[in-house]
Structure 1
Amino acid sequence: MSEKVVYKDDTIIEFKKPKMYKVILLNDDYTTMEFVIEVLIAVFHKNPTDATQIMLDVHEKGKGIVGAYTYDIACTKIAQVEEMAIKRDFPLVTVMEPD
């Protein structure tokens, strides 16, 4: 989807919305449910109810979609999750895929 802007001198500039990427948490046998909720609140700014629902998706379905972000933001959020997980000795894995 794009948006065009036409100036008085007939210059046309077309703006395209950036491609979005889904950030997904993957289940493992070691990361605690409490830590997953903590990550969802701290990194993704989810409220406790939404964080709990996403955590349950991760636990029951093997993965949970956290949200859709531009490429750079998705990469940053994944790096933040990895940093938190390493500090707490959890093997939590976060991936992204095109939305």
Structure 2
Amino acid sequence: MPKVKTLEKTKLDEPKMFKLLLLNDDVTTMEFVIEVLMDIFHFDLEKASALMLEIHYHGSGVCGVFTEEIALSKQRQVQNAAKIANFPLKTRIEEE
């Protein structure tokens, strides 16, 4: 009789999640921050404006929670957009 192979059930852990924050500075315009929030993070104008004000008044704001790979990709997108627009906008990634 032939041997029957059974598939082993493997439990996969949930991926670690990371918060991506935009940091306030004295040079980047509020309009550019709103543009970044809408273009890269897909916020609507109302939510982008509210988060921009949070970043402005509190020094930083969470743009989203992502897997590490997506957070790093979005961080690069923000850096590239800021560089093209000649703004010093910075981000920070923190493990959730």
Question: TM-score when scaled to structure 2?
Answer: 0.91
1:15 aligns with 2:6: no
Question: Does 2:31 correspond to 1:30?
Answer: no
Q: Identity of counterpart residues, as a percentage?
A: 45
Tell me, which stretches of 5 or more residues in structure 2 are unaligned?
A: none
Instruction: State yes or no: 1:62 paired with 2:50.
Output: no
Instruction: Report the Cα distance in structure 2 between the residues aligned to 1:27 and 1:12, rounded to whole angstroms.
Output: 47
Q: Confirm whether residue 95 of structure 1 aligns to residue 85 of structure 2.
A: no
Deviation of 1:89 after TM superposition, in Å, equals 0.4
> Runs of 4+ in structure 1 displaced over 4 angstroms?
none
Report which of the two has the higher share of strand: 1
Structure index of larger Rg: 2
CA RMSD between the two structures: 1.2
* In 2, Cα distance between equivalents of 1:94 and 1:50: 18
Structure 2 distance, partners of 1:85, 1:10, is: 49
TM-score w.r.t. length of structure 1: 0.89
**Which structure ranks higher in relative contact order (CA pairs < 8 Å, sequence separation ≥ 6)?**
2
| Residue matched to 1:77 | 74
Match in the other structure for 1:48: 45
